Chains A and B, each alone.
Chain A
Amino acid sequence: MARQSKTPAETVHNRLAVLRADRRLSRQELAEALGVHYQTIGYLEREEYNPTLALALRIAEFFSLPVEAVFSLRPLEPMSEALHKPTGEQT
Protein backbone atom coordinates (compact mmCIF):
# COMPACT_ATOMS: atom_id res chain seq x y z
CA MET A 1 0.00 0.00 0.00
CA ALA A 2 1.62 3.23 -1.12
CA ARG A 3 1.83 6.14 1.26
CA GLN A 4 -0.25 9.07 0.09
CA SER A 5 2.08 11.29 -1.91
CA LYS A 6 2.34 14.85 -0.71
CA THR A 7 3.21 17.90 -2.68
CA PRO A 8 5.59 20.29 -0.88
CA ALA A 9 2.68 22.64 -0.19
CA GLU A 10 0.84 19.92 1.74
CA THR A 11 3.67 19.31 4.20
CA VAL A 12 3.46 21.38 7.35
CA HIS A 13 6.97 22.12 8.58
CA ASN A 14 7.62 22.61 12.28
CA ARG A 15 10.23 23.34 14.96
CA LEU A 16 8.93 20.78 17.41
CA ALA A 17 12.20 18.83 17.76
CA VAL A 18 14.23 21.99 18.47
CA LEU A 19 11.68 23.34 20.93
CA ARG A 20 11.43 20.02 22.74
CA ALA A 21 15.21 19.78 23.02
CA ASP A 22 15.35 23.40 24.22
CA ARG A 23 12.91 22.61 27.04
CA ARG A 24 14.75 19.33 27.79
CA LEU A 25 11.58 17.29 27.47
CA SER A 26 11.31 13.66 26.45
CA ARG A 27 8.78 12.65 23.81
CA GLN A 28 6.81 10.90 26.53
CA GLU A 29 6.67 14.04 28.70
CA LEU A 30 5.60 16.26 25.80
CA ALA A 31 3.04 13.68 24.68
CA GLU A 32 1.52 13.54 28.16
CA ALA A 33 1.34 17.33 28.33
CA LEU A 34 -0.42 17.47 24.96
CA GLY A 35 -2.62 14.41 25.50
CA VAL A 36 -1.31 12.41 22.53
CA HIS A 37 0.60 9.14 22.08
CA TYR A 38 4.39 9.47 22.35
CA GLN A 39 4.85 8.12 18.82
CA THR A 40 2.69 10.95 17.50
CA ILE A 41 5.39 13.37 18.69
CA GLY A 42 7.93 11.40 16.61
CA TYR A 43 5.68 11.49 13.54
CA LEU A 44 5.20 15.26 13.99
CA GLU A 45 8.94 15.90 14.43
CA ARG A 46 9.74 13.93 11.27
CA GLU A 47 6.98 15.88 9.48
CA GLU A 48 5.29 12.62 8.55
CA TYR A 49 2.01 13.73 10.06
CA ASN A 50 0.30 17.12 9.73
CA PRO A 51 -1.47 18.04 12.97
CA THR A 52 -5.02 19.32 13.06
CA LEU A 53 -5.46 23.00 13.83
CA ALA A 54 -6.54 22.13 17.38
CA LEU A 55 -3.35 20.16 18.08
CA ALA A 56 -1.15 22.80 16.40
CA LEU A 57 -2.70 25.47 18.62
CA ARG A 58 -2.26 23.28 21.73
CA ILE A 59 1.43 22.79 20.87
CA ALA A 60 1.95 26.52 20.30
CA GLU A 61 0.19 27.31 23.57
CA PHE A 62 2.31 24.75 25.42
CA PHE A 63 5.52 26.44 24.22
CA SER A 64 4.00 29.93 24.74
CA LEU A 65 4.72 30.84 21.14
CA PRO A 66 2.57 32.07 18.28
CA VAL A 67 1.52 29.17 16.06
CA GLU A 68 3.41 30.59 13.07
CA ALA A 69 6.65 30.40 15.07
CA VAL A 70 6.19 26.64 15.44
CA PHE A 71 4.47 25.65 12.17
CA SER A 72 4.87 26.84 8.62
CA LEU A 73 3.95 25.75 5.12
CA ARG A 74 7.46 26.78 3.99
CA PRO A 75 10.63 25.16 5.35
CA LEU A 76 11.57 26.98 8.54
CA GLU A 77 14.94 28.65 8.88
CA PRO A 78 17.21 27.30 11.65
CA MET A 79 16.53 28.80 15.09
CA SER A 80 20.13 30.06 15.32
CA GLU A 81 19.62 32.15 12.18
CA ALA A 82 16.24 33.39 13.37
CA LEU A 83 17.72 34.47 16.71
CA HIS A 84 20.77 36.23 15.35
CA LYS A 85 19.87 37.90 12.10
CA PRO A 86 22.38 40.42 10.80
CA THR A 87 20.80 43.85 11.01
CA GLY A 88 22.66 45.19 7.99
CA GLU A 89 25.90 47.01 7.60
CA GLN A 90 26.29 50.11 9.69
CA THR A 91 28.08 53.11 8.30
Chain B
Amino acid sequence: MSKADMRQAAIAQEARSMLSDTRYDSWRSAGRRRVLVIASVLAIVTTCIASVTDKPILLLPTLVVSAGCWWMLRKVVRGMADLPDDFIDERIRAVRNEHYLYAYRILCGLLCLVLIAFYMAADARQIQWQPGANHLHALFWGTLLSSAMLPSMLLAWTQREI
Protein backbone atom coordinates (compact mmCIF):
# COMPACT_ATOMS: atom_id res chain seq x y z
CA MET B 1 0.00 0.00 0.00
CA SER B 2 1.45 3.37 -1.04
CA LYS B 3 1.73 6.36 1.27
CA ALA B 4 -1.12 8.11 -0.58
CA ASP B 5 -3.37 5.06 -0.16
CA MET B 6 -2.53 4.84 3.53
CA ARG B 7 -3.36 8.54 3.93
CA GLN B 8 -6.68 8.07 2.11
CA ALA B 9 -7.50 5.06 4.31
CA ALA B 10 -6.71 7.08 7.42
CA ILE B 11 -8.93 9.96 6.29
CA ALA B 12 -11.73 7.51 5.44
CA GLN B 13 -11.43 5.95 8.90
CA GLU B 14 -11.48 9.40 10.54
CA ALA B 15 -14.55 10.41 8.46
CA ARG B 16 -16.40 7.21 9.39
CA SER B 17 -15.69 7.68 13.08
CA MET B 18 -16.74 11.36 12.98
CA LEU B 19 -19.99 10.65 11.13
CA SER B 20 -21.00 7.85 13.49
CA ASP B 21 -19.71 9.52 16.64
CA THR B 22 -22.21 9.31 19.52
CA ARG B 23 -20.07 10.79 22.29
CA TYR B 24 -21.59 14.26 21.98
CA ASP B 25 -25.21 13.23 21.37
CA SER B 26 -26.31 15.12 24.48
CA TRP B 27 -25.14 18.30 22.72
CA ARG B 28 -26.94 17.43 19.49
CA SER B 29 -30.47 18.39 20.56
CA ALA B 30 -31.76 21.44 18.66
CA GLY B 31 -31.89 23.56 21.84
CA ARG B 32 -28.35 22.79 22.95
CA ARG B 33 -27.00 23.29 19.44
CA ARG B 34 -28.53 26.76 19.36
CA VAL B 35 -27.08 27.55 22.79
CA LEU B 36 -23.68 26.56 21.40
CA VAL B 37 -24.17 28.80 18.34
CA ILE B 38 -25.12 31.78 20.56
CA ALA B 39 -22.08 31.08 22.76
CA SER B 40 -19.89 31.02 19.62
CA VAL B 41 -21.27 34.35 18.40
CA LEU B 42 -20.66 35.87 21.84
CA ALA B 43 -17.12 34.44 21.86
CA ILE B 44 -16.36 36.03 18.47
CA VAL B 45 -17.86 39.39 19.49
CA THR B 46 -15.98 39.34 22.81
CA THR B 47 -12.72 38.56 21.00
CA CYS B 48 -13.30 41.55 18.70
CA ILE B 49 -14.07 43.83 21.68
CA ALA B 50 -10.94 42.57 23.47
CA SER B 51 -8.89 43.38 20.34
CA VAL B 52 -10.36 46.88 20.09
CA THR B 53 -9.66 47.64 23.75
CA ASP B 54 -6.09 46.42 23.13
CA LYS B 55 -5.82 44.36 26.31
CA PRO B 56 -3.87 41.15 25.68
CA ILE B 57 -4.88 39.84 29.11
CA LEU B 58 -8.49 39.88 27.92
CA LEU B 59 -7.76 38.68 24.38
CA LEU B 60 -6.12 35.40 25.35
CA PRO B 61 -9.05 33.94 27.34
CA THR B 62 -11.55 34.98 24.65
CA LEU B 63 -9.41 33.26 22.01
CA VAL B 64 -9.30 30.11 24.14
CA VAL B 65 -13.11 30.20 24.54
CA SER B 66 -13.52 30.77 20.77
CA ALA B 67 -11.23 27.83 20.02
CA GLY B 68 -13.28 25.70 22.43
CA CYS B 69 -16.52 26.73 20.71
CA TRP B 70 -15.00 25.95 17.30
CA TRP B 71 -13.90 22.49 18.48
CA MET B 72 -17.29 21.73 20.06
CA LEU B 73 -19.22 22.97 17.01
CA ARG B 74 -17.12 20.75 14.78
CA LYS B 75 -17.86 17.72 16.98
CA VAL B 76 -21.58 18.52 17.23
CA VAL B 77 -22.05 18.76 13.43
CA ARG B 78 -19.87 15.64 12.97
CA GLY B 79 -17.34 17.55 10.90
CA MET B 80 -19.90 17.96 8.11
CA ALA B 81 -18.43 21.35 7.26
CA ASP B 82 -14.87 20.08 6.98
CA LEU B 83 -14.79 16.47 5.75
CA PRO B 84 -13.57 15.90 2.17
CA ASP B 85 -16.30 15.41 -0.45
CA ASP B 86 -15.31 11.80 -1.14
CA PHE B 87 -16.16 10.69 2.38
CA ILE B 88 -19.64 12.17 2.81
CA ASP B 89 -22.83 11.14 1.06
CA GLU B 90 -24.81 13.19 -1.48
CA ARG B 91 -27.32 14.63 1.04
CA ILE B 92 -24.62 15.86 3.42
CA ARG B 93 -22.71 17.29 0.44
CA ALA B 94 -25.83 19.13 -0.76
CA VAL B 95 -26.62 20.47 2.73
CA ARG B 96 -23.02 21.55 3.19
CA ASN B 97 -22.89 23.34 -0.16
CA GLU B 98 -26.10 25.20 0.66
CA HIS B 99 -24.75 26.29 4.05
CA TYR B 100 -21.39 27.33 2.63
CA LEU B 101 -23.28 29.61 0.24
CA TYR B 102 -25.19 31.21 3.15
CA ALA B 103 -21.97 31.52 5.18
CA TYR B 104 -20.22 33.16 2.24
CA ARG B 105 -23.03 35.68 1.79
CA ILE B 106 -23.21 36.53 5.50
CA LEU B 107 -19.44 36.89 5.84
CA CYS B 108 -19.18 39.03 2.70
CA GLY B 109 -22.05 41.23 3.88
CA LEU B 110 -20.53 41.75 7.34
CA LEU B 111 -17.05 42.40 5.92
CA CYS B 112 -18.42 44.90 3.41
CA LEU B 113 -20.28 46.76 6.17
CA VAL B 114 -17.18 46.98 8.36
CA LEU B 115 -14.89 47.98 5.47
CA ILE B 116 -17.34 50.63 4.25
CA ALA B 117 -17.52 52.01 7.81
CA PHE B 118 -13.69 52.09 8.00
CA TYR B 119 -13.44 53.74 4.60
CA MET B 120 -16.03 56.38 5.39
CA ALA B 121 -14.51 57.14 8.80
CA ALA B 122 -10.99 57.41 7.37
CA ASP B 123 -12.12 59.60 4.48
CA ALA B 124 -14.67 61.93 6.05
CA ARG B 125 -13.25 65.00 7.79
CA GLN B 126 -16.33 65.58 9.90
CA ILE B 127 -15.96 62.26 11.68
CA GLN B 128 -13.55 62.43 14.61
CA TRP B 129 -13.05 58.68 14.90
CA GLN B 130 -10.36 57.08 12.75
CA PRO B 131 -9.67 53.32 12.49
CA GLY B 132 -6.39 52.32 14.12
CA ALA B 133 -4.27 49.18 14.42
CA ASN B 134 -6.49 47.80 17.20
CA HIS B 135 -9.51 48.01 14.89
CA LEU B 136 -7.60 46.12 12.21
CA HIS B 137 -6.74 43.48 14.84
CA ALA B 138 -10.44 43.17 15.67
CA LEU B 139 -11.23 42.85 11.96
CA PHE B 140 -8.54 40.18 11.61
CA TRP B 141 -9.77 38.05 14.54
CA GLY B 142 -13.43 38.56 13.63
CA THR B 143 -12.85 37.47 10.02
CA LEU B 144 -10.64 34.54 10.97
CA LEU B 145 -13.00 33.16 13.62
CA SER B 146 -16.16 33.79 11.58
CA SER B 147 -14.81 32.13 8.46
CA ALA B 148 -13.74 29.10 10.52
CA MET B 149 -16.97 28.79 12.51
CA LEU B 150 -19.81 30.19 10.40
CA PRO B 151 -20.53 27.08 8.23
CA SER B 152 -20.68 24.84 11.33
CA MET B 153 -22.77 27.45 13.18
CA LEU B 154 -25.33 27.56 10.37
CA LEU B 155 -25.45 23.76 10.16
CA ALA B 156 -25.91 23.49 13.93
CA TRP B 157 -28.68 26.12 13.88
CA THR B 158 -30.75 24.90 10.93
CA GLN B 159 -30.53 21.12 10.78
CA ARG B 160 -33.45 19.13 12.16
CA GLU B 161 -31.22 16.25 13.22
CA ILE B 162 -27.47 15.86 13.11
Q: Name A residues whose Cβ lies closer than 8 Å to a Cβ of B.
A: 1, 3, 35-40, 42-43, 48-49, 51-52, 54-55
Contacts and interface: CB of A to CB of B under 8 A. Distances in A.
Interface of B: 19-20, 88-92, 94, 102, 154, 157-158, 160-162
A37 B154 contact: no
Which 7 pairs from chain A and chain B are nearest by CB? A36-B89, A40-B91, A49-B91, A37-B89, A1-B158, A40-B89, A52-B90
Nearest to B91: A40
Given A36-B89, A37-B19, 10 more contacts: A1-B102, A1-B158, A3-B158, A36-B91, A37-B89, A38-B20, A40-B90, A40-B92, A42-B161, A51-B90
A37 B157 contact: no
Contacts of A51: 90
A41 to B, nearest CB: 10
Given A1-B102, A42-B161, A35 B89 contact: yes
Contacts of A40: 89-92
